[in-house]
Amino acid sequence: MILIIRGRGISRGIGKGTLLVSRAPISFLSGVDPDTGIIVEKGHPLQGTCMAEKVLAFSFGKGSTVGSYILYALSRNGHAPVAIVNTEAEPIIATGAIMGNIPMIDRIDVPLSRLVSGVQVQVNGDTGEMMYDGELA
């Protein structure tokens, strides 16, 4: 079953891939290795998981403004998520997504807690929509 989940477009473009959901915020500065795309933050629920080529859904970013440049570096190194979905975009993540040409949406009309990792999705940053090919939790 394909659902159309509506939100607000933040960074333009279309990203398609496997959904990776984090219930916890993510710090890109010192929480993500920009050379590999692996989440390295100690104690994070996704510690050891690679975000490259995934659609990364998480509530919001945390940490320093340098996080924007980490997202940009991930993009340049080929290890960025193909798209980002946030509950509420904040300037650090939005700026990084725009700089790195990573499609991004926020304020989706389905709670983040209902999204399931492993589902195939397509994020359209132009329209603010996500096509979700699976069941909700």
Q: Is 6 exposed, middle or buried (0-12, 13-18, 19+ CB in 10 A)?
A: middle
Instruction: Please identify which of the residues 11, 30, 64, 68 carries the catalytic annotation.
Output: 64
C-alpha to C-alpha distance for 39 and 60, rounded to whole angstroms: 15
Considering only the C-alpha atoms of the chain, give the largest distance between any 2 of them, rounded to a whole number of Å: 39
113 is catalytic: no
Catalytically annotated residues: 64
